[in-house]
Structure 1
Amino acid sequence: MSEVSFREALIVWIRIGLLSFGGPAGQIALMHRIIVDEKKWLDESRFLHALNYCMLLPGPEAQQLATYIGWLMHGVRGGVIAGLLFIIPGALAIFLLSWAYVTIGDLTLVEGVFFGLKAAVLAIVVQALIRIGKRALKGTLRPFLAVAGFLALFVFSVPFPIVVLTAGIAGYLVARRLGPDNTEANHSLVSTETVVRPGTRRAALTCLVLWALTVFGLLAALGYGHVYSQIAVFFSKMATVTFGGAYAVLSYVAQQGVENYQWLQPGEMLEGLGLAETTPGPLILVTQFVGFLAAYRDAAGESALLFASIGALLTTWVTFLPCFLWIFAGAPYVEKLRANQAISSALGAVTAVVVGVIANLALWFAISALFAEQFLFSEYGVNMQLPHLASVDVPMLTLSAVAFLCAFQFKMGVIPLVSTLASLGAVWMLMAG
């Protein structure tokens, strides 16, 4: 069992929830830095074992990782609290900004307040990538898999599940042929024994029942033609089919929300994504913005904002409830697999690919943050997103250089780094305005 008190863990999850900027790469980096490096609550292999499983799930991997770690440490209540606190700050921010979007329209200044945070996140992500890479990429196979995974995702746009499954099979076959790699030491404050958490199955069943009651209850009461029923069905479907993390989710939501349901315009989807990128919490919280606008435009008169608020809450509910279900239903079995050496080696191979995945996410985030325009290069079998070099964002480039200096030269902690860059970003926006 964990030697960490629930109160101490609660404080840390609040801290992580408030600082979880930058999408999955930044959030995984933040959790790794705080939980593994600072607090030493989990060792590297335990952290990566949990991350490997979350990477295989549909939906936001960082939020599911928080739920998994919370469950490891304090059972169901730990998982629920960690998962909720990872969501709530960002959900509240998106909710308020959605109100401002439909009532005020111009959120340039609001977005500018978070401008400097992107630079801080870039530095945090690169730090995590270096730390995880040094510890996870041992031997010959794992570095090869990490590079291959990065190239497959970034250069050739190979579907994420194929990349992960291929790595897992390779790791399994190599382990069966050459034997497992058991060189990793354990320094975790969480017990290394097989985890038994009472009530986990009941929690998974509760999540499933609540999810089913929400969807089928709305269909029975309102019919499929009602916007609430459409929101419940669509985002529930999204929660089960969108593998590959938040970025895979976003492309799916953008296509369906704009082209199929016509809930919003393409430009509005980009603005919603901008809000999600510059607020804490999972990037998938952009779905709340989509649900808000969908319900707002379906309503009429003075009740539109109330109608939209319910639509936003419903979207968040059906988007994240399955995330808790996947963890409570699967985590106990994944923990048991740690004793199976061949399967453990397969997950170790997935760990290597996860390093490539984080590198891919980091590069994607860097390109989108540092360059205003990108283009798709699609020739000779290559299919990758590249920046227009002339569109470089000089202020963001400058702030990023400061962030890297603070992180690597002055060894700033997360909070001082984030605070410094947020302040510089706010000053820049005031001067530019």
Structure 2
Amino acid sequence: MEKRTYLKEVAALFLRIGATAFGGPAAYIAIMQRETVRNRRWLDEQQFLDFNGVTNLIPGPNATEMALWLGLVRAGWLGYAAAGLLFILPAMLATLALAWVYVAYGSLSQVGWVLYGVKPIVIAIIIQALWDLGRKAVKGWLTAMVGIAVITFYLLGFNEVALLFAGAGIVLLFQGGRQLLKASPSAMLVMPLLKVPLSMLSAGVIPFSQITLFLTMLKIGSVIYGSGYVLLAFFNSEFVIRLGWLTHQQLLDAIAVGQITPGPVASSATFIGYLMGGLPSALLATLAFLLPSFFFVALLSRILPWLRKSWWSAAFLDGVNVASLGLMLGVTWQLGRVGVVDWFIILLTIIALFLVFRSKVNSAWLILGGGLLGITYKLVLG
């Protein structure tokens, strides 16, 4: 009976997060932290930090991987499946609707303004999560300096994965001695993937097939790291240059859909699949893009407890954790520069910060409230 209750709890939470969460992976993870750690106490800050750090080291959309992990922690393997699928579902349905409009009318102009009031709420939620997680992740001067360095180099344009491994390596070096400063096996495996191009030289348009679509999305889902801008590069390499199935404008519209719909970045894959071959191809593309994440999280669930038992792997994980938070803070700064643009948004951000720190109000209500206020402001004052 208790397991069924937990499963229903997981299903309801991740369906709601998937339907209301905007702002990219940093925002989604912040909302998950608020709901599962701060509000519901499913796990503690250290457990959340550990898996957030590890998901940054594996390919795939981090927010989806965090949803899978949290579902597994709360309700076992059924919770794992329910959390992942229901987190994805709202974005997929919204994307299918937008893709139909796009195919029918040729564009998605004047849609992005609906997020005007949501951005400051998202920024406030991320700041609250960073405060909670940062107090656990920063364990002394060393981790504090690593976090500051990661933020600085991220804003200067350095690669996210390289910064994660560098942060982890520095903490490991200082805690364990110079004899441990050797190339990390995992880094040796991952870093070449960042250098290998996903496409060969373009040989003209290749005829569309669902098998090629599935294998291409599976390949991208198996090696993708970083933000939506990184995903743009991967999709461009495959679908515009190598296969010739999309134009640059269609690709930009696909990424835009990922930004204006709730839920994970997989919605861009859904959109591309729909453009290629309607509903069947949309479902196939989404499945292929997300399959690697389901596999990687299932594998990690077996080895993560072991990582905390060894001092050297625990030190490495501490470095990854603080570096991950540094990246989140860097993303928050970038979101703030783009999203906090006038007096109304500044005021809304201040109110949102007060609410997220002083109450346990549901994140969905905050986001919906911000959206309604933003729409009202645009309609009244333009």
Which TM-score bucket, shorter chain as reference?
A: 0.7 to 0.9
Q: Map 1:95-174 onto structure 2 (within 5 A).
A: 95-108=96-109, 110-155=111-156, 157-174=157-174
Secondary structure of the residue aligned to 1:320 is helix
Bigger Cα displacement from structure 2, 231-240 vs 163-172: 163-172
2:373 matched to which residue of 1? Answer: 424
1:238 matched to which residue of 2? Answer: 220
Equivalent residues of 1:249, 1:284 under 8 A apart: no
How far has the Cα of 1:287 moved from its partner?
2.0
- CA shift digits 1:91-120 (9 cap, x unpaired): 111111110111134544544334322232
Instruction: Say what the alpha-carbon RMSD is for the aligned residues.
Output: 2.5
Equivalent residues of 1:61, 1:245 under 8 A apart: no
Determine the C-alpha separation between the residues in 2 that align with 1:46 and 1:167: 19
1:347 matched to which residue of 2? Answer: 317
Distance 1:401 1:259, change over 3 A: farther
How far has the Cα of 1:71 moved from its partner?
1.3
1:216 matched to which residue of 2? Answer: none
**Match among 279, 282, 291 for residue 264 of structure 2:** 282
Q: What amino acid maps onto 2:347 in structure 1?
A: A
- CA shift digits 1:313-371 (9 cap, x unpaired): 1110100111101111222112222222221121011111011110122223334435x
How far has the Cα of 1:167 moved from its partner?
2.0
- CA shift digits 1:39-60 (9 cap, x unpaired): 1111110001111111111110
2:235 matched to which residue of 1? Answer: 253
Q: Map 1:280-359 onto structure 2 (within 5 A).
A: 280-293=262-275, 295=276, 307-359=277-329
Q: Provide the aligned length of Structure 1 versus Structure 2.
A: 350
Equivalent residues of 2:102, 2:108 under 8 A apart: yes
How far has the Cα of 1:290 moved from its partner?
2.0
Distance 1:428 1:104, change over 3 A: farther
How far has the Cα of 1:8 moved from its partner?
2.2
Bigger Cα displacement from structure 2, 165-174 vs 342-351: 165-174
Secondary structure of the residue aligned to 1:5 is helix
Secondary structure of the residue aligned to 1:328 is helix
Equivalent residues of 1:68, 1:331 under 8 A apart: yes
2:211 matched to which residue of 1? Answer: 229
Instruction: List runs of 5+ in structure 1 lacking aligned partners.
Output: 179-223, 296-306, 371-392
**Match among 366, 375, 382 for residue 336 of structure 2:** 366
Secondary structure of the residue aligned to 2:230 is helix
1:408 matched to which residue of 2? Answer: 354
Secondary structure of the residue aligned to 1:264 is coil
Determine the C-alpha separation between the residues in 1 that align with 2:376 and 2:245: 36
Bigger Cα displacement from structure 2, 238-247 vs 278-287: 238-247
Equivalent residues of 1:59, 1:249 under 8 A apart: no
Determine the C-alpha separation between the residues in 1 that align with 2:117 and 2:257: 14
The yes-or-no answer on 1:86 pairing with 2:87 is yes
- CA shift digits 1:252-278 (9 cap, x unpaired): 223433333333333333333222212
How far has the Cα of 1:427 moved from its partner?
1.9
Q: What amino acid maps onto 1:418 in structure 2?
A: I
Equivalent residues of 1:399, 1:421 under 8 A apart: no
Equivalent residues of 1:403, 1:417 under 8 A apart: no
Determine the C-alpha separation between the residues in 2 that align with 1:163 and 1:10: 34
Equivalent residues of 1:68, 1:79 under 8 A apart: yes
Instruction: List runs of 5+ in structure 2 lacking aligned partners.
Output: 179-205
Determine the C-alpha separation between the residues in 2 that align with 1:112 and 1:10: 30
Equivalent residues of 1:94, 1:289 under 8 A apart: yes
Q: Quote the sequence identity (%).
A: 27
- CA shift digits 1:200-227 (9 cap, x unpaired): xxxxxxxxxxxxxxxxxxxxxxxx8433
The yes-or-no answer on 1:7 pairing with 2:45 is no
